[in-house]
Amino acid sequence: MRIPFVTAACLAMIWPWLSTTAFAQPSTPAGAATPPAQAEASPNDLDGKKMFSSNCGFCHQDGGRHAGRGPKLSKSEKSDEFIIERIKKGKTGSMPAFAGVFNDAQIGALLAYIRGLDD
């Protein structure tokens, strides 16, 4: 049982790197038409709960309502700015940085989900 846990923990730590390097789109050659930019979705259009459970739930137990490997997020007294920065930059040795994984709208949806938690 320990091997799947270790595998999942390692994947959680390297996922931000994988998503920005291994799955990066190839650059457009010079002179080629660039594809149109995708419109960024608003936090209301995104499912913060689903993103949280698939990316953050491994460490923040019960959807963030209880401490696990990461702290309890429900009723956090941390400022919105602090939470946004922590999601983007992570914390050395504790939490990976997700700036390369989530755009601002997705981070906003995660913040809205965290702020909506109740015990």
Instruction: Find which of 5-9, 32-36, 39-43, 100-104 is predicted with most confidence, using mean pLDDT.
Output: 100-104
Ranges of each domain in the chain: 2-22+42-115
Residue 95: strand, helix, or coil: strand
Q: Which pTM value belongs to this model?
A: 0.62
The CA angle 45-37-42, to the nearest 5 degrees, is 15
The second-level CATH assignment, the architecture, of 2-22+42-115 is Orthogonal Bundle (1.10)
Taking only the tens place, the pLDDT of each residue in 30-69 is 555 555 555 555 555 689 999 999 999 999 999 999 999 9
- Residue 5 has a pLDDT of 52
Q: Give me the pLDDT at residue 62, please.
A: 94
